[in-house]
Structure 1
Amino acid sequence: MEFAEQRRAMVELLREQQEISDRVAGALLAVPRHLFVPGVAPEDAYRDEPIVTKRDDAGLPISSSSQPAIMAIMLDQLGVEPGQRVLEIGAGTGYNAALLAHLVGPSGRVVSVDIDDGIVTQARRHLSAAGVSQVEVVCADGAQGHAGPAPYDRLIATVGVWDLAPAWLEQLGADGRLVAPLDLRGVQASVALERDGDRWASRSVAPCGFMRMRGPFAGPEVVAVLRRDPDLMLALPEPREVGDVPAALDAVPVEIAVKEMGPAHAASFSLWLALHEPRWCALSGKLGRGYGMSVGLVEGDSIALLAPEGSHLARGKGATGAGVAAQGHGPGGAGLAAELAGHVRAWDEAGRPDMSALRVAAYRNPAPVTGGETVVRKHHTTLVLSFS
């Protein structure tokens, strides 16, 4: 099979880094990703990296083939079985729909919905080229789902969602499961939810990062393109004024050393910071020597970010030390770095609560008033967050 060796190498690398079920690994081995990103060299198509496939007029990425590691996590969260009906929100290149089609088998059905007719046409073309026939790609607002084949056994959103659309909950069967990159005050977490009495309760939570949903159901998040080629973007949980952040990032940072944290810890700290700090921000794109994301605080013409000691993220300068630092850029950068370091200390003293220990309960509005937990109110649902 063409490029089978590249797929095998990709799956082996993923399995070294994370747990992947045999069924999901089998789908990744069987489905040729390179056919879904025809403008990309095949050797690049099988890297564990997202591939941007469409941008808006401002240069902001609005569609992509997601990072395979994240796709594998979410597919395992979804727990698709042969013969099931699956609704996908966000068609993208069609690659994830093809993986779903492999998992449901010839007796199952996959419906993928996207608001962008150009993306729909592209996904259909790619699926046809890959010989995948049991996927229906529909051009419509994903917030409305697709009622025709309902009820569905599984629903997965491959775009960042701010709220749970009522149509999704109504179109899922009694034993259905929903997996979505859910916004938690600006931080995304892939949350698997099932019905639990009068609410939806999480069965698993994992860090993730997706382009946000467009259309009437979009949330208040703001993503600004700071630089093109290579990309550098600033994300805020809601609209607010910031200053000349690109100029601040060009300045040599002030560093305050903080305690070490690995990738899993960094994701958990991001959630902690978002729940405790209204000036939270995330910088993503080409950082240092590769693509990634860093969280921090932004105010006026200044920004502070977590980064390897001795690095300069915006300039692509590699680290010279082995630790982690709160780096402040711009005229108020030193003060923001000190505040960011304080948040790291508070998170550390709280026992470094991990995102995998997060429990999410979603109630249809109006929701009960609770105490002692974090409550995030949306338009249609209220989320109650707690750590086990």
Structure 2
Amino acid sequence: MTQIAEARKFYARLLAAHAGSADPRLEAVFTEVPREAFLGPGPWTVIAGNATLETPSADPVHIYQNVLVALDAAKGINNGEPVLHAMWIGKAAPKPGEAVTHVGAGTGYYTALLARLVSPGTVTAFELEADLAARAAQNLEPYGNVTVIHGDAVTGGLPPSDIIYVNAGVVAPPADWLKALKPGGRLVFPWRPAERVGLAVMVIRAEKGFTCDPFMRSWFIPCVGASLAGPMAKIPDRDKAARSRSIWLTADKAPDRTAIAIIGDVWFSSKDIRSRPAG
């Protein structure tokens, strides 16, 4: 086994262990999909706290660690933290034949992983930055089940999806994203209702509405068009945000006393719609 293949295999084992997923395919896809193919030519700029470091050479072995690799340093855009994405993808549990929408695809690395996991299903990848979208389209050419769209996922409308995987922080998910979820569909997104509040949230379209599970801390760059709350919004602090258990469209149900946050066309509730009444 070559050094790079050995490094990639161990990297995949580490990510799968952190994810705690029961799906052995998660480790397999991190082993099979070459991260360097989505980063451009090395050496690469690695982000460490508030510092940036250049890898010693263009040897891909340097990027098979849990490091952020800059894609557009001036705009604060990076390739994402592999451990975080392994945990998110593991939680979303993609299945063969499902339809995924990836919002904020960057240059396509995590899109490729999703594409492998849902094949022969499909992935629709949205990327707002023209340069990144062009790079993603080129990088993802070998993946015949991916369509890359250079466009705005907030206003452009999403296709019906089993999974919507969002890689840009939103003050609240647009109502159209919730409507695009198929029954049993999962929406994973970074929730940033306030500057100091950053949570990863899993929403599932259930029979009686949308469940909401804030499952870990998370920080992403803002999603253009969905990162600012209006003056009438009810904004939670971090503790209240973490107690969200369901999310509602205001058009379907008016906010009640359980409302933790009311933002635009959606509101978050402390009530768990999966709980059964006593008696």
TM-score category, normalised to shorter length? 0.7 to 0.9
Q: Which SS does the other structure have where 2:87 is aligned?
A: helix
Structure 2 spans left out of the alignment, 5+ residues = 45-57, 230-234
**1:54 counterpart = 2:63:** no
CA–CA distance in structure 2, aligned partners of residues 32 and 109 of structure 1: 20
Cα deviation for residue 173 of structure 1 reads 1.4
Indicate if the aligned counterparts of 1:205 and 1:359 stay in contact, CA closer than 8 A: no
- 1:204-215 pair list within 5 angstroms: 205-214=215-224
C-alpha contact 2:255 2:262 (8 A) present in aligned 1: no
Structure 1 residues 266-305: aligned runs within 5 Å:
271-272=238-239
C-alpha separation in 2, matches of 1:194 and 1:18: 19
Residue 201 (structure 1) aligns with = 211
> Pairwise mapping of residues 113-262 of structure 1 onto structure 2 (< 5 A)?
113-128=126-141, 131-144=142-155, 146-147=157-158, 150-186=159-195, 187-196=197-206, 199-203=209-213, 205-214=215-224, 216-219=225-228
Deviations 1:123-142 (A, max 9, x none): 112223xx322211001111
Aligned to 1:365: 250
SS at match of 2:154: helix
State whether residues 77 and 204 of structure 1, in contact with CA within 8 Å, keep that contact through their aligned partners in structure 2.
no
- CA deviation vs aligned residue, 1:98-150 (integer Å, no higher than 9, x gap): 00011012x2110001222211101112223xx32221100111113544xx3
Question: How far apart are the structure 1 equivalents of 2:87 and 2:95?
Answer: 16
Q: Provide the TM-score with structure 2 as the length reference.
A: 0.78
Contact 2:188 2:202 in 1 (8 A): yes
Give unpaired runs (5+ residues) of structure 1: 221-237, 239-269, 277-354
SS at match of 1:368: coil
Code of the residue aligned with 1:202 in structure 2: it is C
Determine the C-alpha separation between the residues in 2 that align with 1:146 and 1:192. 20
Structure number with larger C-alpha Rg: 1
Q: Report the counterpart of residue 36 of structure 2 in structure 1.
A: 34
The number of residue pairs the alignment matches comes to: 247
RMSD after superposition: 2.8
Alignment partner, residue 62 of structure 2: 44
What secondary structure sits across from 2:220 in the alignment? coil
Aligned counterpart in structure 1 of residue 260 of structure 2, from 357, 375, 382? 375
**Residues 47-102 of structure 1 deviation map (CA, whole Å, 9 limit, x = unaligned):** 101222114xxx340x2211000101110121110011111111112001100011
Query: How many Å separate the matches in 2 of 1:95 and 1:123?
Result: 8
Give 1:362's aligned amino acid.
Answer: I
Normalising by structure 1, report the TM-score: 0.58
**Identical residues among aligned pairs (%):** 24
- Is the CA contact (8 Å cut-off) linking 2:244 and 2:268 kept in structure 1? no
Taking a change above 3 Å as real, the CA distance of residues 73 and 16 of structure 1, as seen in their structure-2 partners, is closer
Aligned counterpart in structure 2 of residue 78 of structure 1, from 61, 69, 92: 92
- The 1-side partners of 2:17 and 2:26 are apart by 15
For residue 143 of structure 1, give the secondary structure of its aligned residue in structure 2.
coil
Question: In structure 2, how many angstroms separate the alpha carbons of the residues matched to 1:137 and 1:206?
Answer: 29
